[in-house]
Amino acid sequence: MAIFWAIVVAMTLIVGGVLAQAVIRGAARTPSARASSDAAVYRAQLAEVDRDVARGVIDAADADRVHAEIARRLIAADRAAHAAQTRSTRAPASVALGLIGLGLAGSVGTYLWLGAPGYGDMALQDRIAFAEEVRSTRPDQQVAEASLPPFLPPADLGDDYRRLLTQLRETVAKRPNDLQGHILLAQQERRIGNFSAAKEAQRRVVEIRAEDVTAGELADLGELQVMAAGGYVSPQAELSLRAALSQDPRNGVARYYYGLMLLQTGRPDQAFRIWDRLLREGPEGAPWVPPILAQIEELAQVAGVRYTVPAVGSAAPGPSTEDMEAAQDMSPAERMEMIGAMVQGLSDRLATEGGSAEDWARLITSLGVLGRQSEAIAIHANAVEVFAGEQAALDVINAAGQRAGVVE
């Protein structure tokens, strides 16, 4: 920090000195230039008169009169030159130095007012801690929804549709345990843009499903919570998304909005990894692909990644859970032949390109099936470091570690 300030002060003084010198020199020469030129001319004329007398061109009496006139003009020119020089060398210099000093003082004052003196670059640990603080203190769902204007139904809704929707709302209100009624109500409220009401209907769907709730239904609830909050991922929406990911780590809707939550809470690095992997997995028609394509290049810059957008669906798949289960029924030789190449390819890709938590989990599980415990332990430790602070990803990785027998 001291070196930075030393460089700034030195550069400022150098520039200020150059400017002051230029102003002073210009002020010293320009105002008195004409007076000095007149004096030089009169001195030359005096010398010329003396030469004319010596040559006998003019007599002494005429020479005295000419001498007296030229001398009078020379004295006046000398006085004018001296006065002009006095005005140009003192007043402009003081004005220039005063302006430069005022500029320096103004610059320092502005920085002290608007800047952050002594504030250095945040260490990674501090950035993570700051992101965690933002994440834990962000507004809840109710506050976010209350900050938005009230919902206004579209003007182009037909009278028949309005009547049917009103009947549906009344019927569902009378039958709080009607699963199909709440599913239909959530769909219709979402269709007209009433996301808050759609969220409440979907929340009731999740409650009725209880232990039978699916990852898709949880992800839909999380998405509606985000939409009801105007695109903001609240703590309640995060819980819904994490619940969906705990059942299905590959759920695209939940992964997209979980990445959005990380972006909003100061972890663009983690958000970038999630969205990049979603793009590589595809498919092209997935609803999360267009919004990711619209944002990921800017996200990569924020995350500090030199990035070229990949082709959607270009990721080479690693061994799946079904592959692992099938491999357990094979002979050791068949298992090695089937899994070995896939594990090596997946390991190389993670080392060079990175990947999602699911990719790391598949690699850990594969190494466990192959009996390569020491490698599984090392990969698990590496994955935990890569996804530090991202609890949903750590849950996926630790679950794979348990399957591989490297985590208790």
The CATH number covering residue 371 comes to 1.25.40
User: Quick one: 105 and 184 in the same domain?
Assistant: no
Distance CA 376, CA 134 (A): 34
Mention every residue, 6+ apart, whose C-beta is less than 8 A from residue 347: 363, 379
The per-residue pLDDT for 203 is 97
Distance CA 383, CA 401 (A): 10
The per-residue pLDDT for 186 is 96
Classify residue 54: in a domain, yes or no: yes
User: Quick one: 99 and 176 in the same domain?
Assistant: no
DSSP 8-state secondary structure symbol assigned to residue 231:
S
Count of structural domains within the chain: 4
Tokens of 323: 């592959």
Q: Which of 363, 370, 368 is nearest to 402 (CA)?
A: 368
User: Quick one: 206 and 325 in the same domain?
Assistant: no
Distance CA 267, CA 133 (A): 12
Classify residue 126: in a domain, yes or no: no
What's the domain range around 242? 133-266
Q: What pTM was computed for the model?
A: 0.55
The per-residue pLDDT for 259 is 93
The per-residue pLDDT for 222 is 97
User: Quick one: 90 and 150 in the same domain?
Assistant: no
Tokens of 377: 């332990």
Each residue of 12-35: b (16+ CB within 10 Å) or e? eeeebeeebeebbeebbeebbeeb
Classify residue 125: in a domain, yes or no: no
User: Quick one: 212 and 193 in the same domain?
Assistant: yes
Residue type, 16: G
- How would you write the pLDDT of the chain (408 residues) with one tens digit per residue? 556 566 767 777 777 677 666 666 655 555 455 555 666 666 776 677 677 667 766 676 666 676 677 667 767 766 766 665 555 544 455 666 676 677 667 766 666 565 555 545 555 566 667 777 887 889 999 999 999 999 998 988 889 999 999 999 999 999 999 999 999 999 999 999 999 999 999 999 999 999 999 999 999 999 999 999 999 999 999 999 999 988 888 899 999 999 999 999 988 988 998 899 899 888 888 999 999 999 999 999 988 888 889 888 876 555 555 555 555 555 666 656 655 666 777 776 776 667 778 888 888 888 887 778 888 888 888 888 888 778 888 888 998 888 888 887
Classify residue 271: in a domain, yes or no: no
Tokens of 328: 């357990």
- Secondary structure (3-state) at 139: coil
The per-residue pLDDT for 34 is 55
Classify residue 43: in a domain, yes or no: yes
Classify residue 288: in a domain, yes or no: yes
Read off φ and ψ for residue 394, nearest 5 degrees: -65, -35
User: Quick one: 284 and 178 in the same domain?
Assistant: no
Distance CA 256, CA 78 (A): 85
